[in-house]
Amino acid sequence: MSAAVRTITTTPFDDQRVGTAGLRKKVRVFQQTHYLENFVQAVFDTHPGFEGSTLVVGGDGRYHNDTAIQTILAMAAANGVAKIIVGKGGILSTPAASHLIRKYDAHGGFILSASHNPAGPDGDFGIKFSIHGGGQASSALTDAIYARSQEIDRYRLLDAAPVPLDDVGAATLGDMTVDVIDSTEDYADLMESLFDFDAIRALLASDFRFAFDAMHAVTGPYATRLFVERLGASPDSVRNAEPLPDFGGGHPDPNLVYAADLADEAINQQALDFAAASDGDGDRNMILGRGVFVSPGDSLAVIAANASTIPVYADGIPGAARSMPTSRALDAVAAQQGFDAYETPTGWKFFCNLLDAGRIAICGEESFGTGSDHVREKDGLWAVLAWLNLLAARRGESLAEILLAHWKTYGRHYYERHDYEDLSAEQADAVMQSLRAQLAELPGRTLNDLTITAADEFGYTDPIDGSSADGQGLRVIFGDAARIVLRKSGTGTSGATLRLYLEELRSDEWELRLPTHEVLGPLSAVADSLCQLREQTGRDKPSLVT
């Protein structure tokens, strides 16, 4: 007897507008009856072409991942999808999902993740729809999905038993085929086609001390396949490699706070030549060397400056892009090397048109995200391999030496991000409005011996399709010397988060090794005064500094 398709009556939820990278809420919100189903059906109802199509589905393995996948499979079958490609065990990193969508010419995919946010029954969950080509849905599409979610009155579901996902192979769900694959193999093949694996293998076989922390998140199996099985690193070099529903109780955000043990081993103990970590869904990265932390803006700039060491970019790159709050270190490289540099709003989707048009090959964000034109998402393991490829090409130079040589050539952009988390919406808006109200009068003022040359609210017009995005953050610019940026984050699940970005350029050689807090302390005081942070938030300091 064939499975029956049921049409189930529902009512809208008023909180299904997506943020920077999808719909993120607490697990208990997604566990509400009809909540996930409403959002998924809104996607099916809004984006044409699902009937007879192929989709990719998977997630970072966090709590509720397996349950949500079964719901999506049953709904896809009921909505006429012909084939689903799903990662073994439901595990699929965000960049690997983008690669599968592109490789198998899928109509799109559902990625289940709340990225770097904590997991577990009391943690966070998320979902986003990726379009054909492997990129994030456009603002126009997400607006349409939200509009549909506000009027939805029914969804379709195939009444059938769950599909086994723990073994590779094919199954059927009604008239739909479900292909369970080991996505680490496809992804490793892609990486091997991009980088000089022979050179990296030789580096790792030497007395080079290397460690990668997967933070009990999705990259564990991918890192094991790449570093241990294909590149010959010792098995113990990949740490916390088993994905766990609660990420082992940790916070899978690869920075100096949440990967403190790895940072201590590399920076303070100087026991590792190279160390790296990735986040919950595998799209972020942290890069460390013996005695040194590489800020995300510097990492992007160094990779771009040395792109010709990567075999696929041996002839150079057409251009590179950064999100607006990201350090302007990339701009300095582009100016000297003569390639185009683009400044976009925060959100990887803004890079995709530039990538598709061949305008850029490398791009990145300050939130520990770096990537290239191989997929349409940021990719933590790609960034790690790019650094290993660079270290192999410049054998004999330490990471610290490479970084110092870069600063001597392009200057050092000292940089910090100050997060003010769990504010009320009213507090966050008050801080933003306090600075916004001053913008017109700020140019020409001198603060802390720095003269303000421009102050504005960043807006963007896409050079490819002409679409625009306004209200993308407030900027106070001191020429090439320094910047203050303030914006609200779109990745949280509760309360409001403000992010304050501080950047100051130093070029004299004696200034290149100063402590970051020493350089940025005066600029931080200027920002606090301009934004009235203490008065408006009641906070003496940020929740997190990265």
The residues assigned a catalytic role are: 115
Residue 447 region, left (φ>0) first, then alpha (ψ -120 to 50), else beta? beta
Q: Are 235 and 200 in contact (CB under 8 A)?
A: no
Rounded to a whole number of angstroms, the CA Rg of the chain reads: 23
Longest dimension (CA), the chain: 79
Q: Are 402 and 318 in contact (CB under 8 A)?
A: no
CA 193 to chain centre: 23
Q: Is 56 exposed, middle or buried (0-12, 13-18, 19+ CB in 10 A)?
A: buried
Tokens 């004696």 label which residue? 510
Q: Which is nearest to 91 in space by CA: 166, 160, 143?
A: 166
Beta-ladder partners of 112: 59, 127
- Other C-beta atoms lying within 10 Å of the C-beta of residue 525: 12
CA 170 to chain centre: 31
In three-state secondary structure terms, 416 is: strand
> Rounded distance, CA 69 to CA 81, Å?
15
